[in-house]
Structure 1
Amino acid sequence: MMDTKKDFEFEELIICGCCKQKFNETEFVPKELSCKHCFCLQCVKTTMLKGLEVYCINCWKRTELDEQSPETLRTQKSILSLIRHLANVKVNKSVDKERKGENCHTHGMPFSFWCYNCQQLLCRACGTQSDHIGHSIKSNNDARDHLISEVQVETIAIAKLMSEIQNLFGHKRQFLLRVLDACNTLKTQIELELNSGWTQNTNDLLQTNEALNSIKPSNLRTDDLYDLQLYLNRLEQVKQKVQNKYSEQFAHGQLEDIISSTNLLDFSMIKQSLSSLQSMALESYKSADLANPNTHIFFLANYCTAQLFTRYVLPKHVTQLVNGPEFSKNSPGNSSTTQYTTSLSSISSNEPVLITSQNSPPPAILNSVPSIRNVNTFPMFYFNIEVNGTSFGRLVIETRPDVAPKMSKNFEVLTVGDTSGFSYKGCSIFQCWEGESVITGDFELNNGRGGKSIYDESYFMPDDTKFPAVRGAVGMRRTQKRHDNMGMVGSQFRIILQEMRGFTAIFGHVVDGIDLVEKNGLVWRSNWQTVQDICHI
């Protein structure tokens, strides 16, 4: 009775509500109107079409054709698929009924056994024939129980595999997010280098020009030997600075040519290439053809490898080479040779350094280099985050006092604390926008309407750093007051999770723990009514 009722319901789905004909893929194609009712194409053309409008006979809603034919209406392919499926179901049911009532055509005996090897039913006489000798044969009941058990085992195994696949995919997604964070960090560092590096280079050149201009030709006409010696000493100092700058920039250019090689580099290859630079012209290194899309991957891989090399291996190696006799002999100020070969100099204090993790470097690096810490990094500060009194993790932020001195000083004093009692310790993360940013630093009210700076004026105008507000960037934030302090900032700061083009006042970036910030955003969204009491730094 139940099967008959279900069949009737299915029949209602696969016939036209107007002509009661069964849908097909030729004449009675199921067409869907704007009201979601479905009729065959023949009825739409002959019964419901009036000019360029089709009126549904069930609800009388109008469907406009927009000067098109009824054939352009959406075809309900799901109904056609259902028709094909029902046909297969009916065929299978009829075959099953025939099988239940069948006997062995050869011996006329009922099927009472199942052969696992041949996967077919057998009668008593069939089981004794030579075709099934050595096969696994069981009665129908035992075979049914065994097959059901096998199906259950396989179902559990498949479900377990699917669960493992889901877990592995989750791990892969987390890994790709880490790669994305690393790429964003690299992008931020390169943008910082483009901004501050050019400014620093321009300032150095201006200082050199000012030093040269201070030595006027008229002063050289004096007969005072002490003055002449003083001018000469100044020139030697300026020359030494220029030589060091030239050595540094030219060596970086050599390293960039090595990075542009089409080969994938490692530390040993970089060392070998740097050694060969002492006897090889710069023009002998050919840059990679970036037209090949795979070359970009090699280029970035070599760049990151070179960054690790300059951080962990190069500092001590450079000190030995720069202080050697080759430095003064090969500098352009002391030689007329057209090919200048200098050793790679260490990174200057004003040059951004790529920091991907505060963890220890790989063992291979530790074994090859006794001193791996680069002393030329910018100041870094850590925050221990707690949720409901439980440690949630550590967040490490690096500041840029070279380009944002006022904001960096304010952040430093509030982080370590001062005698007046102003400190970020115990501050709540009072606002989180999932996937966008988190805001904290209001040590006065913990709601976004307080938070003074360390300076006498309480609020100050932020430094104009022009740093991009990309993922991981840290910037000062205005307090939530109606007069908004004329764009000035105090103690509140924002950590960016997604690029915000309209946000300025960036003074640092997250070195480690950006994933904790993202997780904290999820915690805040799920506990938004009480989060100001549970998330602290």
Structure 2
Amino acid sequence: MVLAEYLQCGICFEPYTADSRLPKFLQCSGGIQHTYCLQCLRRLTVGGMIRCPCCGDLTSLGDRPADSLKNNIYLLPQIEAAAAARKQNGLEMFCRTCSAVAADQCGEHDLLKMSELREALRQLAERGAADMETVRQRRADAVTLFKEAHTVLVSVAESVRFTIEDYEMNAQLDDNIVGELERRREAADALPSDQLVDSYRFTEQHVADAHAALRETAPLAEQSAALLAASVALSAPGLSQTFAVGEWLHSGDLMKALLAASVVVYALDHVTAGEQEAGAAAEQCHKVGDTKPAAETKSFTYTNGLPAPSFSSMVKSTSPAAPAPAADAARTSVQRPLRGTNPRYSLRVTDGAAITDVIVELRPDMAPIMCKNFVTLCERGLLDNSRFHFAVHSDYLLGGRVDDDEGFSPLAKEPEKFVMADQCPLQDESGAIRMKGMGTVTGPNGEKRGLIGSQFMMWVSETRDYRQYQYTLVFGFIRQGLEFVRAITCMERAAIWRHARLLSTKPYRQ
């Protein structure tokens, strides 16, 4: 026991060794030379002097390091002998607690024979590798889920964009109908008697469409109002959460807003008119604090298994719709030959699946202002990549709304948007291209003249009863590609909005 005390430093209490912890004598007075390890003496050296921690005497080193002090030659043999004996007998131990060769103070620590250290190292490395492989797999699984969620979110965002475009298109068409009805109302007193019947029939049809739209949108309005004042109860094993859709939709918490947005999208996409029977396979959202039984709840309902594509599949098809064939083969018209030296323009048109050059012959000899207006639109690229925003099945196709509003004439002087059209005697017929009237104005001689902007229409019907007028807004004729334009008018309205475009225009030369 006395030997063990002598074999360790009195400062750090670490055992002496034959290398970094050599026992060194200090030059203390009174014939006593206290001994400490080299590492501690190096730390105690200040200005070439070492003060003995035991007696306080100073040992002068001068310019020499602490390494120059004399070794305790009496302890060295015992240190070396003890180390050799431990190695020879396999008694040298490794302390797992200190992660170092075991010392005397490691008696209560987790010790391991040095001969077993190699295998312990191998097992430790294997265990660490296994743990990291588990971590790596967990992260990989999470990344896979995030990627799947991202794919769904992108698909939903794209689908929602299409739905928004559909609703915006319908809203714009509604604006057109409202404007047309307003014009019919204002023109009723001044309309010639021979046009009253046609005007009444036209107005009657629009009113019938308006009533149908009222019935169609009633469930949508009820659903939308209910959503903003509704709460949704989510339940799963170990989970129960109720949230207010309207509040969470505008929440600063992204995940809350995302959840609420999902409910909104799902609910509005599954709008159903009428009451749903109690017990149907549906989830109901009810107003916060409503104590009525579910069967009496008059709020929006989610349903599954609808035959039409919906957000329940999370993805709407984005493939371009193929153009519908002409409704009646008998309407197919022969190609009209190009006439004389009249200027011609090539309109590159797509239905989303195919691209065709529609050749238009202009008649500046009969409609110089309207032709100049159209040519200026083409030359400035204002019509490039513009939508065909409205069509009547097998009747006409409307385009040229270059500003997503009413359009404008590039010839107009600010603040005006439209210019006065020619008094053109060309008549409406299948294949005629004409400007859309944007109102009337009094001409220089007191006559009524039409206003035009950028919107134009192409007649495609071979069966319409085209009325003859003294003057029209016709400024040219389609000489090639009429069947392609007619096929576009036979597509679904939403498909026309999404896919039918005027890609580019350029002068046509044979």
Q: Would the TM-score normalized by the shorter structure come out above 0.5?
A: no
TM-score by length of 2: 0.32
Greater strand content: 2
